[in-house]
Amino acid sequence: MNIVVYPGTFDPITKGHFDLIERAARMFDKVVVAVAASPGKRPTLSIEDRVALAKEVIDGIDNVEVTGFSCLLTELLDQQGARIILRGLRAVSDFEYELQLANMNRAQAPHVESVFLTPAVENSYISATIVREIARLGGDVSRLVHPRVADALRAHYAKETPSGQ
């Protein structure tokens, strides 16, 4: 079976991520969306919330699964019986970091290949950082994320600052 692992922090999962997941689901037998704990990035949403939201967003696509992980990515690939990593490229500015990640992963596991997909143009400007910033300031993120993600962000920031601002 041709399994691809799509890792990320997904804080939160956006329509840009979903765009890539749909494309990968058409290309591979199975897609594993791997939500990294990424404690060093001090994510806004908990790992449990990020996994739960990813599961809701991908609901209905048969060959996609979601898992949380806090080990090395290459270890997760072994656990999943996978040899392919998927990452997204939104713009040239993403490339340098992605090349570094791919080379680091190859150094650790030479049998693992990284593949890159680009989202549709209308999703290419979406970044999780910008989504969080707009939501934190009470803006409308409905064009950028699934409605359940928008609700979760609203609830999160309403708790953080009772005024929602």
Query: Which spans of this chain sit near ligand COA (rule: CB under 6 A)?
Result: 7-9, 11, 36, 38, 41, 72-73, 101, 104-105, 127-129
Q: Which is nearer to ligand COA, 105 or 123 (CB)?
A: 105
Least separation in angstroms between residue 94's CB and ligand COA is 7
Q: Which is nearer to ligand COA, 129 or 163 (CB)?
A: 129
Least separation in angstroms between residue 26's CB and ligand COA is 22
Q: How many CA atoms lie within 13 A of 100 on its CB side?
A: 5
Q: Which is nearer to ligand COA, 38 or 118 (CB)?
A: 38
| 8 A C-beta contact, residue 5 and residue 80 | yes
